[in-house]
Amino acid sequence: MLQRAVERLRSKHPAVRIIYADYYTPAIQFVLQPQKFGFLQQLPRACCGTGEGTYNFNLTAKCGDPGAVACADPTTHWSWDGIHLTEAAYGHIAKGWLYGPFADPPILRSPLL
């Protein structure tokens, strides 16, 4: 529905470059296929937390609070603290927006196109 609205806007304003950037699809792919992005294949366990529970997440003891510890290698995790993504995950989204496939059209297109 949103993509159709973007298409209508593009038709209405052909001199304007309107880009559809998708955040949801890569975020879901991190959960469903973490190894595709170089993340550990595991439960969505936060990199930084108090070590509690399956997800290493405690809303009352967030990353940066006493007792919270970051994992040794954040590049292997997509979840930083159970709420935010890691720098590595955001990097995959940014690359997908810049070069595809998470933006239509990608923000940086080949000059030959």
Q: Among the listed ranges 9-13, 28-32, 49-53, 94-98, which one has the minimum average pLDDT value?
A: 49-53
Question: At residue 53, does pLDDT exceed 70?
Answer: yes
Average pLDDT over residues 72-99: 96
* pLDDT tens, residue by residue, 55-73: 999 888 889 999 899 999 9
The predicted structure's pLDDT at residue 113: 45
Q: Give the pTM.
A: 0.85
pLDDT bin (cut points 50, 70, 90) of residue 40 is confident
Mean model confidence pLDDT for the chain: 91
Please spell the DSSP secondary structure of the chain, one letter per residue: -HHHHHHHHHHH-TTS---EE-SHHHHHHHHH-GGGGT--SSS---SEE-S-TTTT--TTS-TTSTT-EE-S-GGG-SBSSSSSBPHHHHHHHHHHHHHSSSEES-SS--TT-
Question: At residue 108, does pLDDT exceed 60?
Answer: yes
pLDDT over 70 percentage in the chain = 96
